[in-house]
Amino acid sequence: MVQGVGGGVPGTPRVLRAMNDRAALDLLLEHGPLSRTRIGALTGLSKPTASQVLARLEEAGLVRATGTSTGRPGPGARLYALEPGAGYAAGLDVTASRVRAAVADVTGAVVGAYELPATSEGAAEGAVARVTRALDEAVAAAGLGRADVRRLVIGTPGAFDPSTGRLRYASHLPGWHSPTLLREVAEALPMPVEYDNDVNLVAVAEQRAGIARGQGDFVLLWSAEGLGAALVLGGRLHRGFTGGAGEVGFLPVPGTELVRGVAQENGGGFQRLAGAQTLPALARQLGVREVPEGPYPEVAAALLARSAEADSGPYRELRGVYATRLATGLASLVAILDPALVVLAGGAVTAGGEPLRARVAAELAELAAARPRLVMGSVTDDPVLRGALECALAATRDEVFDTSR
């Protein structure tokens, strides 16, 4: 009988070989270069079986010898690593102001990136043209062609309704509301294309590479150009019937008037109470004399960064009032979902640092019966794009690493 990971697992030789192959590949992905002996120890495979696995994977172009181990007496053991070029995946982060694209190899390393701003030549292009242009530039930067990319994941505000294919909850995203958009993108590109809400993708990034790693139940509250949440239940994203789960900007909350026609307003009570756009006016109201100019997410971040350093005065008061506003909406989510963890993410809130986090946690403890751990997000460099790449890479690895065919 062929030996399987963890001992004798019944099955066909082909299935067992594929299981052993995938276990070795996953270890190389997690740990980097490993010796045959180390792979055997981590998988429970015998030395002969581990050698067979590595020989098979090397022949298939999935691993390569990278040198020998050092630091021990005697000859060094040969080290093996994933072959980066075994597969490539791409991600896009789309907002009203720009499109960011990146290509990563199968190890997760970004090998090409590009940003297409709204102010660049051709800003009047349609959504399909902007997607393909941004992708092509990132692919070219990686020294690749479109055909080398196995999968693309696109993150946008709002969500595409699975029953109609229309983008909902993002009326501010021009050119993305055509009922034929998804079909047109599919026809323009040779690889499978998937779509997800931008905040959901931030949660993916935090779950796979950040502060929420290993967490099966958590809420991520995102504050940047908009206010939104991602809900992870039982280890899986909860998207809702129309893809709108987590659109907490529409949530009615105390402290602001009841907003009607929220779809037309593109926001509701929680957005008006605690969205980043509220910070400049709130700061002036509390006596902050110098409120910077610029896009409101950047202004909000600057104000909260200053508040993190304040021991007294209007900046400290700003931190306290804003923390109460954030906790007001979070209390509803905590009461319904009872998560183990709440992650605050997005530049318009993480700039407040530990002083803001601690104040939000204290306010939430007063407003909610449950006591989830509250933390700041740790994936701060292009988290939407990172989440898109993580999703695209997961599917790509499942395809590339499947040696049973």
Mean pLDDT of 362-380: 96
Indicate if the pLDDT at residue 122 is higher than 50: no
Q: What are the pLDDT digits (tens) for 37-69?
A: 999 999 999 989 999 999 999 999 999 999 776
Q: How far apart are CA 356 and CA 322, in angstroms?
A: 9
Contact present, 228 and 326 (Cβ < 8 Å): no
Q: How confident is residue 90, by pLDDT bands cut at 50, 70 and 90? A: very high
Distance between start and end Cα atoms, the chain: 20
User: For residue 120, what pLDDT is reported?
Assistant: 47
Mean pLDDT, to the nearest integer, of 229-257?
A: 92
Q: In this predicted structure, what is the pLDDT of residue 339?
A: 97
- 6-15, 308-317, 324-333, 355-364: which range is least confident on average? 6-15
User: What are the residues whose beta carbons fall under 8 Å from the beta carbon of 364, sequence distance 6 or more?
Assistant: 327, 330, 331, 334, 342, 372, 374
Residue 76 has pLDDT above 80, yes or no: no
Interval 211-240 mean pLDDT: 94
CATH fold group of domain 213-378: Nucleotidyltransferase; domain 5 (3.30.420)
Proportion of the chain above pLDDT 70, given as a percent = 94
Would you identify the CATH topology of the domain 13-82? Answer: Arc Repressor Mutant, subunit A (1.10.10)
Mean pLDDT of the chain: 91
Give the H/E segment covering residue 30.
Answer: helix 13-31
- Residues 1-28 have a mean pLDDT of 74
**Torsion sign across C-alpha atoms 350, 355, 356, 358:** positive
Tokens of 74: 């005697």
The predicted-structure confidence for 138-152, as pLDDT tens digits, reads as follows 999 999 999 999 999
The predicted model gives 194-206 an average pLDDT of: 96
Average pLDDT over residues 22-27: 95
Where are the domains positioned within the chain?
13-82, 87-201+384-400, 213-378
Mean pLDDT calculated for residue range 261-284: 89
Distance between CA atoms of 80 and 255, rounded to whole angstroms? 59
Residue 13 has pLDDT above 90, yes or no: no
- Mapping DSSP to helix (H, G, I), strand (E, B) and coil, where does residue 82 land? strand
Task: Name the pLDDT band for 169 (thresholds 50, 70, 90).
Answer: confident
Two tokens, residue 192: 């499978």
Q: What pLDDT is stored for residue 232 in this prediction?
A: 97
Phi, psi of 104, deg, nearest 5: -125, 150
The yes-or-no verdict on residue 226 having pLDDT over 90 is no
With a cut of 70, say whether residue 95 has pLDDT above it: yes
Measure the CA–CA gap between 361 and 374, rounded to whole angstroms: 6
Q: Tell me, what's the pLDDT at 174? A: 83
What pTM does this model have? 0.91
CB of 257 closer than 8 Å to CB of 243: no
β-strand partners of 186: none
pLDDT of residue 242: 87
pLDDT at 261: 85
Closest among 249, 209, 212 to 229, alpha carbons compared = 249
Q: Matching CATH topology for 87-201+384-400 and 213-378? A: yes
Region 253-268: what's the mean pLDDT? 83
- Residues 246 and 263: their CA atoms lie apart, in Å, by 15
pLDDT band at 338 (very low <50, low <70, confident <90, very high): very high
What percentage of the chain reaches a pLDDT higher than 90?
Answer: 77
**CATH of 87-201+384-400 among 3.30.420.40, 3.40.50.920, 3.40.50.1460, 3.40.50.1820:** 3.30.420.40
